[in-house]
Structure 1
């Protein structure tokens, strides 16, 4: 029997219910997820100061609002990432297969102060540098490079500033991204090339209500058009849910609704090009403060999608907002080219280049939302009030020094409480 016939026969023999509701392996049931996910989140945040920074957006903004908010410049009202750490930047593909480095996670996006993204990125880089045992002098140079990289996006006369040459860490990630295929995505995300999602450490069983809700979601034409709209796929292809599971993924998002859904796009013989992996993620209220007079969607999923369209167009065009189980959710297809930048280890020479480049990526995302006059005014604000001791805005340096100190203390306290079992 040929491989194609075997695949067709296997598909015909699959049960009629496209989403498996029960499995024999004992795994957390829906009612018991919350406590396990909370414990996993606490463990992840205890692994390193950088992990603690990534997983604790709330403490960052508590400090911003209470301790230093009045000393920051009041930047233009634009969409900001809201959680601009290094792990939330990386290669992203658009529907036509073009790959660029963009902001890749917009859960916290709001219309707010762009200075918050600069500070958040600087804190992430400084924490990563400390984790790499780099000196304080190197961190000074990194923050100077961050300021220069961010400002470079506003110096260009045209609306689409070019990014600088990629540092080695980013270049390697880009090379890997453009070479990846469905097989790479399947092996990395679901550890299997077969058209199922294997339950285990990362994927848990669904309730009957979740099964029905997911199946209904992809019967909606607005949602099913996401995978069919990808370049090279049949626009009129039939979308069918093959399998789905609760996805144990992320850190700060642990405990929200999160599902992986495996789809067959064209209804024919199941092969890699016919399959796609969808990510359904609950949209929740942002911790990032927004400008009070800003007009944004009230629905949290619609807010995330709208922010993505402004900050990361490659990602925004591949996202939809919907309602599921009376909650707001964001749906997007995971493409093989979508990668997270892993900036855990830095050396002295690479640190400045990484800081400059990532800041330029964020600056470009901000600048595309401003007219020429607004860009000039914001650039002037960024360059004013500098001291002779550091070639970066003094408010940026002061903020990051204080934040590194407060987060280091918070991290140690978190570890103590985790070790003693305190909530």
Structure 2
């Protein structure tokens, strides 16, 4: 029997979902605790980081925010896929955040500490390779590791039918239940008005290779319980019908509220003041496949950005890798971030940042000391915070479910299965 979630109950249920999801593993905790990373950046006693050139950065550069992204015109590449926290800021922040994510993924995979050190070295090498003078800005020509290649291959074989089977029920309906929740009448009305706007309709018809004035109809819409970053914000899935009769086609749209960025940004840069315009601009600079199929606007008085969900858009999961795979994947993913950063800089600025990045290497360790020390510091902080999170939320949930305290060792297993 499906449970109907009323709008008034959303925040409470979203918070419970987030707490459970973050308790699944130490790496899951890192993905959902972006605020703690920013608090570390504000600490006076933290490791001193280099001041890289002010460019668009992800702002929340963890492994889960990288993955296959479709272009809408048939292209497919591994790019940054979540830009909620994008700002014009210090590229070193993306490196540290990615290093922390990789280190925690290694620990969640029970890999020895030496592998983490090798991953950080490989990460720096992969990132730096995007800034070499013989590499054209934006060149994605790095050799793809087998693990990533399999994900790209799976993404390339996905069609609209795969997406529909996963998200849609019966005659073009979003199935209400644990994932999709009903909208209020006012919300539904405002969604329909939103898709009557010319720029939004144009995005839909262009992406679906339709005619300029082809009819676009909202077939269904629902609040979407998705991820941890949407807590307390609008997140709406909309199923659209383009055209009529036998020529009709469908598109699944994702509307997401854009909030003020928590990531620190360069005060001297001209960054869009509107949060949705900021996300659109950052996506265009960092992830062209994603930015080219995104529109910023306002819905229910809030800044939002909307994109069509493509079957090729997938999240990378790197737990369970072998030692060799972990090191190779770390270098490749850092190269993806490096490419996103390098395409924004001229040759002189790329060379300057590369020199600063490599200046603190030593003979015994190929990674800069500031990066290694920052990752070690953050791993210790997040390990302790993760255990405290489990004590406060996961253990409480176990007891409320009537389980004995001796079952506490199974917290990660039970929460990930749920």
Instruction: State the TM-score, normalizing by the size of structure 1.
Output: 0.90
With over 3 angstroms needed to count, the CA separation of the structure-2 counterparts of 1:410 and 1:278, relative to structure 1, is same
Residue 165 (structure 1) aligned with residue 143 (structure 2): yes
Q: Please give the residue correspondences for 1:229-268 in structure 2 after superposition, counting only pairs within 5 Å.
A: 229-230=206-207, 232-268=209-245
Q: Is the 8 A contact 1:383 1:393 kept in 2?
A: yes
With over 3 angstroms needed to count, the CA separation of the structure-2 counterparts of 1:26 and 1:130, relative to structure 1, is closer
Q: Determine the C-alpha separation between the residues in 2 that align with 1:132 and 1:159.
A: 34
Which one is further off, 210-219 or 342-351? Answer: 342-351
With over 3 angstroms needed to count, the CA separation of the structure-2 counterparts of 1:372 and 1:231, relative to structure 1, is farther
Aligned residue for 1:183, secondary structure, equals helix
Which one is further off, 202-211 or 380-389? Answer: 380-389
Which string of whole-angstrom CA distances, capped at 9 and with x for unpartnered residues, describes residues 67-106 of structure 1?
5567100000000001111111111111211111110000
Q: Is the 8 A contact 1:240 1:267 kept in 2?
A: no
Q: Determine the C-alpha separation between the residues in 1 that align with 2:246 and 2:232.
A: 36
Aligned residue for 1:154, secondary structure, equals coil
Which string of whole-angstrom CA distances, capped at 9 and with x for unpartnered residues, describes residues 43-65 of structure 1?
11111111100001000111022
Q: Is the 8 A contact 1:108 1:288 kept in 2?
A: yes
With over 3 angstroms needed to count, the CA separation of the structure-2 counterparts of 1:68 and 1:145, relative to structure 1, is farther
Q: Determine the C-alpha separation between the residues in 1 that align with 2:270 and 2:357.
A: 25
Which string of whole-angstrom CA distances, capped at 9 and with x for unpartnered residues, describes residues 325-344 of structure 1?
11111100001111111112
Q: Is the 8 A contact 1:318 1:332 kept in 2?
A: yes
The match for 2:367 is 392
The match for 1:21 is none
Residue 108 (structure 1) aligned with residue 82 (structure 2): no
Counterpart of 1:367 (choices 336, 342, 346) is 342
Q: Count residues with an aligned counterpart.
A: 396
Counterpart of 1:31 (choices 8, 13, 17) is 8
Q: Please give the residue correspondences for 1:12-411 in structure 2 after superposition, counting only pairs within 5 Å.
A: 26-67=3-44, 71-157=48-134, 158-190=136-168, 192=169, 194-230=171-207, 232-269=209-246, 274-411=249-386
Q: CA deviation at 1:189?
A: 2.9
Which string of whole-angstrom CA distances, capped at 9 and with x for unpartnered residues, describes residues 187-226 of structure 1?
2233x36311111110001101100110000000111111
Q: Is the 8 A contact 2:259 2:303 kept in 1?
A: yes
Aligned residue for 2:183, secondary structure, equals coil
Q: CA deviation at 1:232?
A: 3.5
Q: Is the 8 A contact 2:67 2:314 kept in 1?
A: yes
Q: CA deviation at 1:285?
A: 1.4
With over 3 angstroms needed to count, the CA separation of the structure-2 counterparts of 1:187 and 1:270, relative to structure 1, is farther
Q: CA RMSD in A?
A: 1.7
Q: Is the 8 A contact 2:66 2:80 kept in 1?
A: yes
The match for 2:402 is none
Q: CA deviation at 1:231?
A: 5.5
Q: Determine the C-alpha separation between the residues in 2 that align with 1:64 and 1:270.
A: 53
With over 3 angstroms needed to count, the CA separation of the structure-2 counterparts of 1:193 and 1:150, relative to structure 1, is farther
Q: Is the 8 A contact 1:77 1:113 kept in 2?
A: yes
Residue 417 (structure 1) aligned with residue 395 (structure 2): no
Q: Is the 8 A contact 1:197 1:245 kept in 2?
A: yes
Aligned residue for 2:68, secondary structure, equals strand
Q: Is the 8 A contact 2:59 2:85 kept in 1?
A: yes
Which one is further off, 58-67 or 192-201? Answer: 192-201
Aligned residue for 2:96, secondary structure, equals helix
Q: Determine the C-alpha separation between the residues in 2 that align with 1:351 and 1:36.
A: 35
Q: Is the 8 A contact 1:234 1:266 kept in 2?
A: no
Which runs of 5 or more structure 2 residues have no equivalent in the other structure? 398-418
